[in-house]
Amino acid sequence: MIMTVAGHADFEERIRNSFARQGAMETLGAELTRISQGVVEIELPFDLKLTQQHGILHAGVISAALDSACSYAAYTQIEPEVSLLTIEFKVNLMSPGRGERFLFRGEVTKPGSNIIVADGRGYALSDGPAKLIASMTSTLMVVRGREGISE
């Protein structure tokens, strides 16, 4: 069983603090734009420093943002004193990462006391409708009392 956290303000603050400690998110220019029960969104603007050789968003950047979105979505559903580790994920790249801005949403598919499964979707945002560029399925392990992995 998953103990529900005390309230929204609580996990929101913990997630914001954790996110702020992610050097990689700062490097990507990413920001947290939504934190709610089981759902977290991260956005980042297009930047040439994030591209692969075709001038589109590198798959690793997409993975980084989706992994963080999925992990923090799971984070809304664990007790404050435990940690999460991403064990593995799969990413499908569906359309080239072209756009002015990108949105990455992570959502918990299956909560659990040991293993949590989350799914994520990435979208390119420009003038028109949002375009689905990628999906992720991520498996996370709940870690209790292991030193050095405190959130």
Least Å distance, CB 133 to a second copy, is 10
Least Å distance, CB 42 to a second copy, is 11
Q: Which of residues 79-118 bind a second copy (CB under 8 A)?
A: 83, 85-96, 109-110, 112, 114-115, 117
The candidate with the shortest Cα–Cα distance to 69, out of 133, 138, 3, is 138
Q: Which of residues 10-29 bind a second copy (CB under 8 A)?
A: 18-19, 21-28
Q: Give helix 59-75 / helix 8-20 axis angle, nearest 10°.
A: 150
Q: How many residues at the interface with a second copy, by CB under 8 A?
A: 59
Gap between the Cα atoms of 9 and 14, Å rounded? 9
The candidate with the shortest Cα–Cα distance to 55, out of 67, 63, 64, 46, is 46
Least Å distance, CB 29 to a second copy, is 10
Q: Where are the beta strands (DSSP E) in the chain?
A: 31-36, 39-45, 83-93, 101-110, 115-125, 131-143
Query: According to the binding rule CB under 8 A, does residue 128 interact with a second copy?
Result: no
Query: According to the binding rule CB under 8 A, does residue 67 interact with a second copy?
Result: yes
With H, G, I as helix, E, B as strand and everything else as coil, classify residue 86. strand
Give contact residues for a second copy (rule: CB under 8 A). 18-19, 21-28, 47-55, 58-68, 83, 85-96, 109-110, 112, 114-115, 117, 119, 132, 135, 137, 139, 141, 148-151
